[in-house]
Amino acid sequence: MTDPLVSAAWAVREQAYAPYSRFAVGAALEAEDGRIFAGCNVENASYGLTVCAERSAVFQAVAAGVRRFRRVVVAPGVEPPAAPCGACRQVLREFGPDLLVEAVGPQSRKQWRMRELLPDAFGPESLA
């Protein structure tokens, strides 16, 4: 049985624009209502303007009015599969410390909760 979130992450990875790093990444985010939002990394000659796949997927979901998620799958295409970068961890954490994060490689899979990837995070509750 194929996991639709994993399939979506691998499929969108093919659309990545990564001419500088050659590190194509796809991400698929599952909303609480079951909808899937996919994103890929988009690099820029001005490196600081690059957007990662995870943030691309979150931004698409937010643009669709979605704010609650079950899990995110990241397909970086390397072994062992890489976890999201620090910026993506912070953006994902905004939407829940218990979000399930999965990284899938060609041969293996890793899994964490957001609070494990970004302990003692700065979040909305920090502003109260």
Q: Is the pLDDT of residue 2 over 90?
A: no
Residues 5-18, mean pLDDT to the nearest whole number: 98
Q: Give 47-87 pLDDT, tens digit per residue.
A: 999 999 999 999 999 999 999 999 999 999 999 999 999 99
pLDDT computed for residue 5 by the predictor: 97
Q: Give 101-122 pLDDT, tens digit per residue.
A: 999 999 999 999 999 999 999 9
pTM of the model: 0.94
Distances (CA, A) of 105 to 4, 25, 73, 78, 100: 16, 11, 11, 5, 17
Q: What is the DSSP string of 19-83?
A: TTT----EEEEEETTS-EEEEE-B--SSGGG-B-HHHHHHHHHHHTT---EEEEEEE---SSPPP
pLDDT computed for residue 128 by the predictor: 79
Catalytic residues: 54
